[in-house]
Amino acid sequence: MKIIMLGAPGAGKGTQAKMIADKYSIPHISTGDIFRANIKNGTELGMEAKKYMDQGQLVPDELTVRILLDRVAKDDCKNGYVLDGFPRTIPQAEVLDSELTKLGDKIDFAINVDVPDENIVNRMSGRRACVTCGATYHIVHIPPKNAGVCDKCGSELILRDDDKPETVLKRLSVYHEQTQPLIEFYDKKGVLKNVDGTVDSAEVFDQITGILG
């Protein structure tokens, strides 16, 4: 079962991807996680990706494609996977489609988690991240026990640059221009499924499992 998660940044598709991966015992592949790991480790790829991410821009195709195709070729992906954060553009989707076709494979479901922009800005500006261990919180939905302090390691919690309202709005603008066309792309292929992302995450997951079976 090969699944692509679609939706604007902050729509909650990453949370749903992890839940899908757990339920169906397939890898959750997030390009964002791979980029963050590279940034944390100070690799050349990470530093290059960070320049774009800090400005709320998308990481260029060549960086992303190189990582992803290598990842899905690994043994743990033989029964399927959930792609989270890729493809982001029509050219990426076409490359992925072409490479999978060469392998006699294809994407089975493209699940679009639909959330209005206003909801996303409110969600993301409430996020807080630990400067030391990377744990994440939300001042409304998942608050730390003590404001501004990580429950796990006691370090300071910050509002990351890519969660600030001005950056979120910029990312949403890029999303609507470059990534939203994927909805039509996968709809034409007959694999698109839309779910309402404004409800509780458990309800969103119920919608998804109803689709996947």
Look up the CATH number of domain 2-115+173-197. 3.40.50.300
Residue 88 is a catalytic residue: yes
Neighbouring CB atoms inside 10 A of 188's CB total 9
Choice among 160, 164, 170, 193 that is catalytic = 160
Of 49, 50, 76, 73, the closest CA to residue 61 belongs to 49
Measuring CA to CA, how many Å separate 39 from each of 32, 35, 48, 113, 183?
Answer: 10, 6, 9, 27, 30
Residue 71 is a catalytic residue: no
Span 108-126, pLDDT tens digits: 999 999 999 999 998 889 9
Maximum Cα–Cα distance across the chain: 53
Residue 171 is a catalytic residue: yes
Q: Which two tokens stand for residue 203?
A: 């309800």
More confident residue, 152 or 66: 152
The model carries a pTM of: 0.77
Q: How confident is the model at residue 20 (pLDDT cuts 50, 70, 90)?
A: very high
Choice among 2, 13, 123, 128 that is catalytic = 13
Instruction: Provide the 3-class DSSP secondary structure of residue 123.
Output: helix
Q: How many residues in total does the chain contain?
A: 213
Residue 160 is a catalytic residue: yes
Instruction: Sort strands 192-196 and 28-30 into parallel, antiparallel or unpaired.
Output: unpaired
Residue 18 reports pLDDT greater than 80:
yes
Choice among 2, 123, 128, 171 that is catalytic = 171
Residue 99 reports pLDDT greater than 90:
no
Residue 66 is a catalytic residue: no
Give the phi and the psi of residue 193 in degrees, each rounded to 5: -135, 125
Of 194, 121, 196, 202, the closest CA to residue 159 belongs to 121
The vertex-176 CA angle with 171 and 177, nearest 5°, equals 95
Given this model, what pLDDT does residue 158 score?
96
The mean predicted confidence, pLDDT, of the chain is 91
The vertex-108 CA angle with 102 and 114, nearest 5°, equals 130
Q: What's the mean pLDDT in 202-209?
A: 97
Span 64-94, pLDDT tens digits: 877 777 678 889 998 999 999 889 889 999 9
**Up-side HSE of residue 148: CA atoms within 13 Å toward CB?**
0
Of 132, 206, 175, the closest CA to residue 10 belongs to 175
Choice among 2, 123, 127, 128 that is catalytic = 127
